[in-house]
């Protein structure tokens, strides 16, 4: 266990295992603990860095409005601690948005990138089929954010889980630790949505690079997330896709063995081609 100072913020991180460098980036509301089901398996193959993003759990929560750009710069700094060469990154949800945003600007930092269901709403803003659904999603998100602003943290967290991310009844199925983590990190979720660029991505710039990208989604996730991953796969010539059958927004938790197999298989393909 360690605390590392990067970009003026103390971040909690752990480094395990030996081999090629791999950084795991968690999504909103969560922390490094969400990677526990796959951590030992990855540590047998990689030198793994897992951390709490700024504002989450054991990392410092700086005052003032934050931005995804700051998260991207934090990721870049942590990647540099693993050595001077490029790094593999596996990222989930908002962590996937963060990793993609950094890859668009700093492709030389990446050997390969695996992203699962980044909530990049702006990527599908022009999709006429999805427009009614996206209007509904944004309305639900607005209600969640209003509840968090009003101090109704439990109501907001539960609504996010059941109406946006996982589905009805899923709040009660979560372990106590997972619910506690959601409540702890709710203020950072609210802060993330104060950043006007939180859902944006420069697809054209990213498509101009050669970083290998694996874009994944789960069959039980909301349709709008699937459409975002499909748009990313269509737009990025260097990308390929994988579907986690029977899994949703956190396949490294619900299908850990498959997640490890898919990620390590992707890395082996990169090694063979390189």
pLDDT band at 134 (very low <50, low <70, confident <90, very high): confident
pLDDT (average), residues 61-78? 96
Q: pLDDT band at 84, cuts 50/70/90?
A: confident
Give the distance, in angstroms, between the CA of residue 86 and the centroid of all CA atoms in the same chain.
19
Listed in sequence order, the residues at least 6 apart from 126 whose beta carbon sits closer than 8 Å to its beta carbon are none
The answer to whether residue 274 scores a pLDDT higher than 80 is no
Looking at residue 29, its pLDDT comes to 96
Query: What is 2-125+196-273's CATH superfamily?
Result: Alpha/Beta hydrolase fold, catalytic domain (3.40.50.1820)
C-alpha span between 42 and 114 (Å, rounded)? 14
Comparing 27 with 127, which gets the higher pLDDT? 27
- State the Rg of the chain over Cα: 17
Mean pLDDT for the chain? Answer: 95
**Beta-bridge partner residues of 218:** 244
Rounded Cα distance between 256 and 223, Å, is 22
Q: Are 117 and 249 in contact (CB under 8 A)?
A: yes
Domain residue limits, the chain: 2-125+196-273, 131-192
Model pTM score: 0.96
Q: What is the mean pLDDT of residues 212-229?
A: 95
Burial of 157 (0-12, 13-18, 19+ CB in 10 A): buried
How many whole angstroms separate alpha carbon 168 and alpha carbon 164? 9
Among 104, 92, 108, smallest CA distance to 35 is for: 92
Whether the pLDDT of residue 117 is over 90: the answer is yes
In this predicted model, what pLDDT tens digit does every residue of 141-184 receive, in sequence order? Answer: 999 999 999 999 999 999 999 988 888 899 999 999 999 999 99
> Looking at residue 1, what is its pLDDT?
60
């Amino acid at each position: 266990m360690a605390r590392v100072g990067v970009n003026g913020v103390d971040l909690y991180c752990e480094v395990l295992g030996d081999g090629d460098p791999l950084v795991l980036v968690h999504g909103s509301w969560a922390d490094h603990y969400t990677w526990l089901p796959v951590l030992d398996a990855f540590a047998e193959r990689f030198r793994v860095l897992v951390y709490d993003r700024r504002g989450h759990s054991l990392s410092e929560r700086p005052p003032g409005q934050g931005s995804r750009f700051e998260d991207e710069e934090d990721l870049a700094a942590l990647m540099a601690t693993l050595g001077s060469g490029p790094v593999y990154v596996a990222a989930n949800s908002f962590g996937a948005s963060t990793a993609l945003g950094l890859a668009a600007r700093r492709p030389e930092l990446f050997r390969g990138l695996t992203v699962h269901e980044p909530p990049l709403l702006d990527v599908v803003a022009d999709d006429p089929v999805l427009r009614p659904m996206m209007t509904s999603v944004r309305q639900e998100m607005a209600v969640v954010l209003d509840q968090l602003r009003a101090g109704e943290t439990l109501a907001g967290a539960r609504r996010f889980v059941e109406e946006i991310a996982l589905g009805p009844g899923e709040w009660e199925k979560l372990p106590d630790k997972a619910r506690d983590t959601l409540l702890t990190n709710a203020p950072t979720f609210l802060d993330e949505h104060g950043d006007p660029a939180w859902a944006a991505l420069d697809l054209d710039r990213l498509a101009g690079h050669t970083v290998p990208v694996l874009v994944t989604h789960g069959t039980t996730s909301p349709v709008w997330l699937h459409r975002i991953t499909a748009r990313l796969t269509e737009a990025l010539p260097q990308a390929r896709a994988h579907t986690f059958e029977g899994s949703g927004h956190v396949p490294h938790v619900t299908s850990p063995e498959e997640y490890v197999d898919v990620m390590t298989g992707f890395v082996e393909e990169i090694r063979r081609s390189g």
